[in-house]
Amino acid sequence: MKSTYLTNLLLLVVAVLLVWLMTESKVADSAYITDKIQAAQVNQITILRHDQQSIHLQRDQQWRLSQPVNVRANQTRINLLLSLLQQPVHQQIPVTQTTDLAEFGLQQPDLSLVFNEYHFAFGDTEPLSEYRYILHDQQIYLVNDDISPLLGASASSFVDNRLLDPASKITALHLPELQNQKVQQQYAALSIIQQNDSWHSTPQNYPQDKLLALLQNWQQAYAMQVVILSNAETIARDEQEVTIKLTDNTQRNFVVSHSEEGLTLTDHQQQLQYLFPATIIPALFSINE
């Protein structure tokens, strides 16, 4: 009887211990890489890359790429970077005097991410789980990594794909004449301006709803790809340009290049080139009658 009692007591102790270990494992697994900063508190991001130019992003009223060029940033990419702060930690290893950082690929890391003043160095992946070793504040964390490919991408990847800032509305639009000899398609030059809360176009005046539809297409234009130009190029006199005036008293000028393959709009002032599919040309350069 006494033996049975002791056996049951031992089993109870083992069961309690297992529950405690499972609880501790869940708590550890749900801990984040840091509790010193939240995503909403980040206003500066720096990406450091070995043998590559650093990328700097800054938030004022909105996120902007500040180096290598000063332009609006892609908010989706910013959110992906900030997601590091919400990644659960699967293992935590304190860094001591005997820790061999090279074992984790952290002796001279190729990629580092800085949120404000908080530094995160990216090392190798753990072979079995493929989680990433990340060094932060004298601790090595093992976390799921979705962002290191983005850290190694070009600065162009962080530029907003939207042609225009949604906060600024078009007040005037000037389109050049476009002609494609291969498909015998021609689009006439057109200017649209706002006067006394109504829209007027020249040389031919179209109904308000037609003009508004064309303006909306430009306001919402979203490029497949944006490329940062390495050097400001000289604009030839015969190049066709789109001119857009906005409510924030700024003006955007885009040099137009088009073919059967696609449409390219180049803003030399901002050193940006926006690439669109050819199918968008009628929506941006013609009135749907």
pLDDT in tens, the chain (289 residues): 445 544 444 544 444 444 344 434 333 444 889 989 999 999 999 999 988 889 999 998 899 999 889 999 999 999 999 999 999 999 999 999 999 999 999 999 999 999 999 999 999 999 999 999 999 999 999 999 999 999 999 999 999 999 999 999 999 999 999 886 555 678 899 999 998 889 999 998 899 999 999 999 999 999 999 999 987 555 554 689 999 999 999 999 999 998 888 999 999 999 999 999 999 999 999 987 5
Furthest C-alpha separation in the chain: 106
Share of the chain above pLDDT 90, in %: 73
Render pLDDT for 81-118 as a digit per residue (tens, 0 to 9).
999 999 999 999 999 999 999 999 999 999 999 999 99
pTM, to two decimals: 0.82
Share of the chain above pLDDT 70, in %: 85
Distance CA 258, CA 240 (A): 10
Distance CA 213, CA 8 (A): 78
Average pLDDT taken over every residue of the chain: 87
Note whether 134 and 140 are within 8 A (CB): yes
Distance CA 72, CA 57 (A): 9
Q: How many CA atoms lie within 13 A of 84 on its CB side?
A: 30
End-to-end CA distance of the chain: 96
Residue 30 sits at the vertex; the CA angle it makes with 26 and 33, to the nearest 5 degrees, is: 140
The pLDDT of residue 50 is: 86
Distance CA 131, CA 221 (A): 38
Render pLDDT for 145-156 as a digit per residue (tens, 0 to 9).
999 999 999 999
Note whether 169 and 246 are within 8 A (CB): yes
State the SS3 of 15-64.
HHHHHHHHHHHHHHHHCECCCCCCHHHCCEEEEEECCCCCEEEEECCCEE
Per the DSSP assignment, residues forming a β-bridge with 106 are none
Give the residue from 176, 184, 162, 163 showing the smallest Cα distance to 260. 184
Note whether 170 and 215 are within 8 A (CB): yes
